């Protein structure tokens, strides 16, 4: 099991998303990987289609970049009591949106291959 880097929920497998994280830029100048679960990947995709600017967020919740436009992503987190899920608002930068789209495209391509 691994914890999603966006919502913190543990999943057997996560989707790799390549981000440019400023805190490790010296070690990984071409970008580093974050793992998010499938639900969050789709939440990011939805949020990218309908971008809602976030005010008051300091940095991107995925890559940690500051002083860039941030957009709201609503993720669903399971909880142990009614209604068993809670909505969490996260702030994502446009670079990370692109990275999520890239991951989605790669996944679609892999699915295609399995069909043939
Ligand atoms: Zn997640
Ligand atoms: Zn970001």
Mutual angle of helices 94-115 and 38-49, in 10-degree steps:
120
Query: What pLDDT is attached to residue 115?
Result: 77
How much distance in Å is there from the Cα of 70 to the middle of ligand 2?
A: 8
Tell me the average confidence (pLDDT) per consecutive run of 10 residues in the chain, 116 residues long: 95 95 90 95 97 94 96 94 94 98 94 82
Place of tokens 């969050």: 40
How much distance in Å is there from the Cα of 83 to the middle of ligand 2?
A: 30
Domain that holds residue 33: 2-115
Neighbours of 16 (CB within 10 A): 12
Neighbours of 58 (CB within 10 A): 10
- Is the CA virtual torsion 81, 85, 91, 92 positive or negative? positive
78 with 37: CB under 8 angstroms? no
Query: What pLDDT is attached to residue 60?
Result: 97
The model carries a pTM of: 0.90
How much distance in Å is there from the Cα of 57 to the middle of ligand 2?
A: 12
Phi-psi region of 13 (alpha: psi -120 to 50; beta: other; left: phi over 0): beta
If one counts the domains in the chain, the total is: 1
Neighbours of 70 (CB within 10 A): 25
Residues lining ion ligand 2 (Cβ < 5 A) are 60, 62-63, 93, 96
């Amino acid at each position: 099991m691994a914890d999603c880097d966006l919502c913190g929920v543990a999943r057997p497998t996560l989707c790799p998303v390549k981000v440019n994280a400023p805190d490790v830029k010296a070690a990984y100048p071409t970008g580093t990987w974050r793992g998010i679960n499938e639900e969050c990947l789709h939440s990011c995709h939805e949020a990218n289609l309908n971008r809602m600017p976030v005010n008051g967020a300091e940095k991107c919740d995925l890559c940690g970049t500051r002083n860039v436009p941030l957009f709201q992503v609503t993720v669903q987190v399971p909880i142990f009591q009614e209604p068993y899920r809670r909505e969490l608002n996260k702030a994502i930068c446009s670079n990370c949106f692109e990275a999520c789209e890239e991951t989605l495209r790669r996944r679609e391509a892999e699915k295609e291959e399995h069909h043939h």
